[in-house]
Amino acid sequence: MAETTRLRADAQRNRDQIVAVARIVFAEVGPGAPMDEIARRAGVGVGTLYRRFPDRGSLLRAVALESLSVILTDAHAAIGEEPTAWDALARIVRRAVGLRFSTHMTMMDEHTRRAFKEAPDFRRTRAAVIGVVEQLVERAQAEGSMRSDVGAGDVFAVVSFLLKPPPSRSAELSDLLMRRCLALILDGLHSGGRSVLPGEPVSVADLHLDS
C-alpha cells in the first residue's frame, strides 16, 4: 500500500510539473513548442509526458484549466486577505494577466477550443470565476473605489487585450509594456478616472464567451 501511494504521488508530481512547465513554454514559444523540450525542462522523459498527455491538445487543455483553477483559488484568497473589494479585484486581474490564461485558450485550434469550453469542469470553474469578479465589481463600486460606468465584462475585456502585447525587441520589454499597460488600465478602472466612456457598461453576457 505504501509503495502504491508513493507511486501515485510521484505520478501526480510529474503531471503537475509538466503542466507548470508547459504553461511557461507555450507562453514563450507558442502552441507549436516541441513536446520533447517541455519534457526536458520538466525533468521527465518524453514517454512519461505522453502517458499523461497523449497529444498537444490535451496538454493545452490541462494548462488552461489549471490556470483558471489557480485564478479561482487566488480570488477566494484575495477576498479574505485584501482590505477592500478593489484591492481584491486588482489582485485577481494581475494574477490572470500573469498566468496568460486567455493566451492559452487562443493557442488551441477551433475544434479543441470548442470541446474544452463545453467540458463540465471548465464551465463550472469559469462560472465560479465570473461570479467572483461580478461580485467584486459590485462591491468595489458600492464602496466608491471603482468607477460606476463599467461592468464585469469591461474587466474581462481589458484582461484579454493585455494578453496580446505589441511587438517589441525582447521578451523583457514585452513584459514591461504589459505591466505598464496593466497599471494604466487599473488606474482607468478606479473611481478616480476622469475620462467619459462611450456607450454603456459591458456585462459578461455581452461578451458571448461561448461563441
| Residues 39 and 110 occupy one common structural domain | no
pLDDT at 129: 92
66 shares a domain with 27: no
- Residue 19: give the domain boundaries: 1-54
3-state helix, strand, coil in the chain (%, to 5): 75, 0, 25
What pLDDT sits at residue 199? 78
For 162-202, the pLDDT digits (tens) are: 766 566 567 677 777 777 888 888 888 998 766 676 678 87
Please give the mean pLDDT across all residues of the chain. 83
Q: Residue 188 to residues 104, 147, 150, 185, 197: CA-CA distances in angstroms?
A: 26, 8, 10, 5, 10
Query: Into how many domains does the chain fold?
Result: 2
Is residue 31 domain-shared with residue 104, that is, in the same domain? no
Residue 1, pLDDT score:
56
CA pair distance 52, 49, nearest whole angstrom? 5
pLDDT of residue 35: 93
Q: Is the domain of 106 the same as that of 144?
A: yes
Same domain, 130 and 159: yes
CATH number, domain containing residue 43: 1.10.10.60
Query: Are 141 and 42 within one domain?
Result: no
When pLDDT is averaged across residues 117-122 and rounded to a whole number, the result is: 82
| Residues 73 and 50 reside in one and the same domain | no
Tell me the C-alpha to C-alpha distance, in Å, between residue 11 and each of 15, 51, 205. 6, 10, 39
